[in-house]
Amino acid sequence: MTIALLTHADCLSHVTPDGHPERVARLEHILHALEALDLKRVTAPLAADDDLLRIHPENYIRGIRSARPSNGFAQVDGDTFLSPGSVDAAYRAAGAAVRAVDLVLSGEASNAFCAVRPPGHHAETETAMGFCLFGNAALAAKHALDHHGLNRVAVVDFDVHHGNGTQDLLWDEARALVITSQQMPLWPGSGRPEETGVHDTVVNIPLAPGSGGAEMRAAYETKAFPRLRAFRPELIIISAGFDAHQDDPLANLNWATDDFAWITAELCRIADEVCSGRTVSTLEGGYDLNALAEATRAHVEELIKAAR
């Protein structure tokens, strides 16, 4: 079976100021870690504005484009910056999510991983924030629902920070189940259990600072996996953030690399049960370069194992 790896050199052209954690080296380390794996390399296309309009209004998309600087940096949020190459990178990241869905739902790939930046799960309907410009995972879900005609899609987000953008973009979407675990308290401050969406299709799983893989596994086994199985999605989309790793500098969870392998394997097992293994994963956070590369490789290796 074919595992697709979607990426583009434009994603390396999104440059951030010196010392910024969301830096070019993140993707460089990931691509180096994955280069020996048996993957179908796919060029991430630029997203079409018609695709982006599924989740963001035209004035927001136009505002991101117009904010692109000709040199240096433009700051669009307290910690979100644009360089001259950032808009093309964001269009590639969103385009990768769309193309990955097409590949998996057509059967050209059994599952797919989008090695892209900037990440997307903090981008709200009309707000860029948390290093994110467009809601890549939410876009993948809406593309699967509206373009491919699926009835049920699930998004599972295990980034250490709450996926407030994905939650906002899919808050009133009855066809999408959003499951997100996050350290709490931690920026951006959302993600409480009582945040359940208009149709009770949002599941927030707060994890205490200092907790590790055992607590995460118990939480997913009791709160996430039963909801996922009951919903029976026709596609599972993963927001794959690796900043819950014990070595990550931006948070205080203590997951080991094996924990990322475990959660990926479990999600793939459920995908096998409910949707013929169809899984699309897209990169979110992870800011210790070595931990990021190691955990990402473990994640992709589990996607490969699931397709055998």
For the segment 39-80, what is each residue's pLDDT rounded down to a tens digit?
Answer: 999 999 999 999 999 999 999 999 999 999 999 999 999 999
**Out of 122, 143, 161, 245, which one is annotated catalytic?**
122
What span, in angstroms and rounded, lies between the C-alpha atoms of 132 and 92? 13
Confidence of residue 308 (pLDDT cuts 50, 70, 90): confident
Share of the chain above pLDDT 70, in %: 100
| Confidence label for 272 from pLDDT (cuts 50, 70 and 90) | very high
Taking CA 67 as the corner, what is the angle to CA 167 and CA 57, rounded to the nearest 5 degrees?
40
Average pLDDT over residues 210-221: 98
Whether residue 168 has pLDDT greater than 80: yes
pLDDT value at residue 302: 98
- List, edge to edge, every strand of the sheet that includes 153-157: 40-43, 3-7, 111-114, 279-283, 236-240, 153-157, 176-183, 202-207
Q: How confident is the model at residue 231 (pLDDT cuts 50, 70, 90)?
A: very high
pLDDT bracket for residue 256 (50, 70, 90): very high
Q: Can 199 be counted among the known catalytic residues? A: no
Mean pLDDT for the stretch of residues 176-187: 98
Give the pTM.
0.97
* pLDDT higher than threshold 80 for residue 243: yes
Q: Residue 93 has what pLDDT?
A: 99
Residue 125 pLDDT exceeds 90 = yes
- Extract the tokens encoding 92: 């590639």
Q: Is the dihedral of CA 143, 124, 17, 255 positive or negative?
A: negative
Residue 6, Cα to own-chain centre: how many angstroms?
Answer: 13
pLDDT tens per residue, range 286-296:
999 999 999 99
Q: What is the mean pLDDT of residues 230-234?
A: 98
Task: Reply yes or no on whether the pLDDT at 267 is more than 90.
Answer: yes
What average pLDDT is seen over the chain?
98
Retrieve residue 190's tokens.
């959302």
**30-48 pLDDT tens trace:** 999 999 999 999 999 999 9
Q: Burial-class residue 17 by CB neighbours within 10 Å (0-12, 13-18, 19+).
A: exposed
pLDDT digits (tens, 9 = 90+) for 76-119: 999 999 999 999 999 999 999 999 999 999 999 999 999 999 99
The SS3 call for residue 283 is: strand
